[in-house]
Amino acid sequence: MSASKVKMREKKLRNQPVSVQYSSDTRDKPAPAQGGPSDFRPSSEKLRKPSHECGWVRGHQRGGECYSKEMPKFINAGAFARVRAAEVRAMLKAVTMTTASSHVFEALPKHMRRRAMSHNTKRLPHRLRDVANKMREKSFQGASKKKDAPKSKSRKACRRHGNLLLEFNRRQRKNIWLETHIWHAKRFHMVKKWGYCLGDRPTYKCYRPCYRAMSSHCLLQDLSYYCCIELQGEEDKLLTALSQLTSKETGPTFAAALCLSGCRQGSVVVYRGGQYPSQPLGPITFLWRPRSQGSTHRQLWIWAHPTLKQDLLPELQAVCQCCEVVLPLVEPVVTPAEVNPGLEPESAPVNTPETESEPRNKRKWSCKSTSGPPAKKILGDGTRSPSTPVTWRSSSTGILINDLTMEIVRYRLIGPQAHSVLSETLEAATDCEEVNKSQSSPFWWPQHCIDENKMKLHQQQADIFNLLKGVYSSGELPSGTVLGLTVDDPRLTLPRNIKALPPVQQVQEVDEEKRRELMLRGVPEHCCQSFLWEQSVRDNATHNKISEQELNHKRSAILVPGSRLSPTPLQGQVPILLVHQPGKQVGNEMSSWGCGWDLLLPKGWGMAFWVPLVYRGIRTGGLHMSLKHSQNKGAPHFPHDYPDCPAGLRFQEELEAELLEKFKRHPPAKRTNYIKHGCLAPFCCPWQQLAEEWELFVKKDGESKGVTQIQTTTEQGDGVASEQQTAITKPVSRFTVLRNKKSLRLLSAWCRPTTSKGQRLRRVGEAPPLSSSAVMSFIDAHQMSLVWVRLSLLSKGKPERHAMLCVPTAEDMKSLDKDRGNGGPQEPPHRDNFKSKVKRRKKGSKKAAASSSNKPEGSGRPSAPDPQSSPQASPDLVLGLWPDPLPSVISHCSRVMLGWVTQGDFSLSAGCGEALGFVSVTGLLNTLLGQPMEHRGKLLLRNPTSLHYRFAKVNIEI
């Protein structure tokens, strides 16, 4: 039977009762019940099975058989009548029952049907008119209910500004939108992360153009999702409280002289109060407000990642003793009756039943609502309740903590021409006219123009900003330089889609001595001041921003299209802060790559600055390019590369669940069998187990003598480590990442740092020779530690995430000496001992399901399940993955394990595959101690989906 006939037959018989059975063939007849005339069976059935198991078949049969002509001896009249009655009832039910799409006139033959029967029941026969009238009444009742329900708005009504604003505000209740969200949503793949809706990567292919923009021109990113925490108080009390979170061993802290003056932006890794070197929280950047004359009161901004804020804010409250909550002022909701007291409620139109029942030919929707004031655009955090506290005060120390999340817009411009883009886009604010100075104004800028000292400072800042036009590259300026400025609204000048380049003609005209002083010493301290630090100025600039409608009206009135709007409106000045971002600061190659500027604005001005910047010919990037930017700089990216922080642990758990779910979506035949590849953890990195096993190995030996003494527990015959591992007492301490600058310099010198691809050695300072005593003293000082390393492949290959870093054997080094182009050794294939268990478990589950479905009801007590076939008896096994607990990670493969890769890709800057990751300090020192001088620092790298090892040179860059 064809597929179409099968579907037609199923449609006809879907309303048949269960008691009547039909054969699968259209020629079959219903199976008769016991006692009917069809109970007799042909005698040939006893000898062999007929070719047609169901139904009567006429004609000559194959093999010459024929049916028996014997008649039944007797018929049970009662049983025969019951069976026939059941068949008649089924037939009547099938005839009278209508499907969901059936109508009354479909019961008629086709030659009697008419189109007018659907609305004129008199055209139907008398026997069907009553049923048709009932169905018509039902349809009218449903239509009236549907008419009473609110109609969906038309597309034209939905696209009105007021309705769009209400819809956008509703969609911001769960995830915060940046001010550039609509712009990004049209051009980027959006992801929901950390409570925000962020752009991940563009919808068009632009990976290499974005890299070229970071290398030669400029790349723009919106970093407004970073959280800003403001601290106010006395300088000595602030430094005393913040000193508990940092250590001088990791680098400059909050008390660094240049940072404390307000001339530089600093960065530091914070820890829990008094817990260094354990329990780190994550990296933060901070900025001090320049000192005021005769005042010790200071102001500090701390910028942190959103996943770090939930750990950092309680720790700041603890060390600063800020427990008193300062409740925010809740603005009262103004109703229309309060705005117009003379308006009586009775004057509003009342919807009477008569007016509601009147039909309307056209749907008209008004964005104005009489129930309240018009909706306003959400600026800042739309998910936060108005009563949520954002300020905390300490009565003992006098420190005030204020949460400024989403109160300041932050853009990052990456590239050597970032300063050229800024100088082309921004113009220093013009002075107000004398007439405006004498009059009182609700705007902040005319009030500041009255003070001569403030205007003198503004002129000095404008001169320094003009000096930036003569700088060739942003990397020539000191890292972390801060410049305060007040600029005009960039929308006053219609942006031209022209690529911003360094003005060569102005370089010769600029005062060379001032430019050289700017490049060597940076911006003077008094010019780092900005009105952006004042809350009142930020609020005034936000609420008095010129609307786009007013600007468009002014543009239509100018004579020359595209010229600057003049005079400058009084509310067209914006306070900003320019913060220089250093590029690559580690290593000796590509110094200052990826440098740029950060632009800080008051909230509400995001799109007013974003569009003019885009029109200067720059590229835009998202979260993916932020990761690649950190990878090319050789710096760890938060929270991906901070496994010892709480945010890093949460990120690893989310990533493991995401990769495991993606792995399970593939059919078993298309999955990579990681057990056969000798990969224990393809979706995560068990750092704790790695540090514990190396620590136990050193304690067991008592003295470090090299990795050659490690006996692997893996037998090459079966390729799988023993499932029954020796019971290991885990140390109580957790692993930490080594961030001590002095120890990192010593460890880097022992690795013999080289350039990319290990082409030539780099000069390092004097370091003590590598010996067993020096290694043991270093290990005692830094137990359970990991170290951040950069690896460059010596041959072809592309490192991937979670790739394994292993120790080469002596035979591997000999093969490398014989052939420099040697790709590397091969890992012997492992045996999957869990594959049979997974298959038995699957078969057991199928048998259990089949037995439960075939088991008759009320058959008695259920039997006990088979322990071998029961799915609950075995652990949660996935084909191709090792179950928990994992065996020994350092001795599972033929090469000893040192660590894993967290970032890996082909580096466009180095021209080879580069990887970033962590290795065990104990394992690395044991490896270096057993390697000869010419091969010191060479490791093996293997991707999780490959059996091929690649030679790589390890470097520790500080």
Task: Give the chain's count of helices (H) and strands (E).
Answer: 30, 23
pLDDT in tens, 594-632: 999 999 999 999 999 999 999 988 999 999 999 999 999
What pLDDT shows up at residue 870? 40
* Contact (Cβ atoms closer than 8 angstroms) between residue 379 and residue 172: no
Whole-angstrom CA distances from 279 to 81, 231, 275 are 85, 23, 6
Instruction: Find the range with the poorest average confidence among 20-34, 302-316, 325-339, 414-428.
Output: 20-34
Highest mean predicted confidence (pLDDT) among 133-137, 439-443, 459-463: 459-463
Query: Rounded to the nearest 10 degrees, what angle do helices 646-665 and 306-320 cross at?
Result: 160
Q: Is the dihedral of CA 549, 552, 553, 554 positive or negative?
A: positive
Whether residue 557 has pLDDT greater than 70 = yes
Higher pLDDT, 37 or 906: 906
pLDDT tens digit string along 862-919? 333 444 444 343 457 888 898 888 899 998 999 999 999 999 999 888 888 999 999 9
pLDDT of the residue at 896:
93
| Partners of residue 189 on adjacent β-strands | 201
Mean pLDDT for all residues in the chain: 80
Of the candidate ranges 244-253, 860-869, 925-934, the one whose mean pLDDT is the lowest: 860-869
Model confidence, pTM:
0.77
Contact (Cβ atoms closer than 8 angstroms) between residue 419 and residue 506: no
Distance CA 794, CA 953 (A): 7
Q: Is the pLDDT of residue 54 over 70?
A: no
pLDDT in tens, 266-287: 999 999 999 999 999 999 999 9
pLDDT tens digits for 64-85? 555 555 777 778 888 889 888 9
Looking at residue 675, its pLDDT comes to 92
What pLDDT is stored for residue 669 in this prediction? 86
CA dihedral 456, 458, 463, 469 (to 10 degrees): 180
The single-letter code of the amino acid at 678 is G
Amino acid at 355: T
How far is it, in rounded angstroms, from Cα 613 to Cα 621? Answer: 13
CB count within 10 Å of CB 396 equals 10
pLDDT in tens, 389-413: 889 999 888 999 999 999 999 999 9
d(CA 812, CA 809): 5
* CA distances to 556, 731, 738 from 699, in Å: 81, 12, 20
pLDDT above 90 coverage of the chain, percent: 41
592: left (phi over 0), alpha (psi -120 to 50) or beta: left
Q: How far is CA 819 from CA 127, 170, 329, 814, 930, in A?
A: 98, 65, 74, 9, 22
* Higher-scoring residue by pLDDT: 87, 337: 87
Per-residue pLDDT, 363? 43
Please determine, for residue 362, whether its predicted confidence score (pLDDT) is greater than 70.
no
State how far the Cα of 802 lies from the Cα of 791, in Å rounded to an integer: 14
Average pLDDT over residues 781-787: 91
**Which residues partner with 176 through β-bridges?**
196
Asked whether residue 384 carries a pLDDT value surpassing 50, the answer given is yes
Min mean pLDDT across 344-348, 648-652, 803-807, 836-840 is at 344-348
Using one digit for the tens of pLDDT, what is the confidence trace for 186-212? 999 999 999 999 999 999 998 999 999
Q: Are 446 and 430 in contact (CB under 8 A)?
A: no
Identify the CA nearest to 525 among candidates 750, 707, 282, 260.
Answer: 260
Q: Give pLDDT, residue 434.
A: 63
Q: How far apart are CA 350 and CA 365, in angstroms?
A: 17
Tell me which of 115 and 637 has the higher pLDDT.
637
Q: Do the Cβ atoms of 241 and 398 come closer than 8 Å?
A: no
Q: Which residue has the higher pLDDT, 532 or 873?
A: 532
Confidence label for 858 from pLDDT (cuts 50, 70 and 90) = very low
Contact between residue 384 and residue 173 where contact means Cβ atoms under 8 Å apart: no
Alpha-carbon dihedral sign for residues 104, 110, 115, 120: negative
Average pLDDT over residues 743-751: 90
pLDDT bin (cut points 50, 70, 90) of residue 558 is confident
Percent composition of the chain: helix, strand, coil (DSSP 3-state, to 5): 35, 15, 45
Checking if the pLDDT of 17 tops 70, the result is no
Nearest of 189, 176, 594, 223 to residue 408 by alpha carbon: 223
Residue with tokens 């829990």: 272
Pairing of strands 408-414, 897-907: unpaired
Q: Does 820 or 253 have the greater pLDDT score?
A: 253
Neighbours of 250 (CB within 10 A): 19
- pLDDT confidence of residue 941: 94
Question: Which of the given ranges, 169-173, 331-335, 738-742, has the highest pLDDT on average?
Answer: 738-742
The yes-or-no verdict on residue 20 having pLDDT over 60 is no
**Contacting residues for 72 by C-beta, under 8 A, at least 6 apart:** 37, 39, 40
Closest CA to 711 of 702, 703, 701: 701
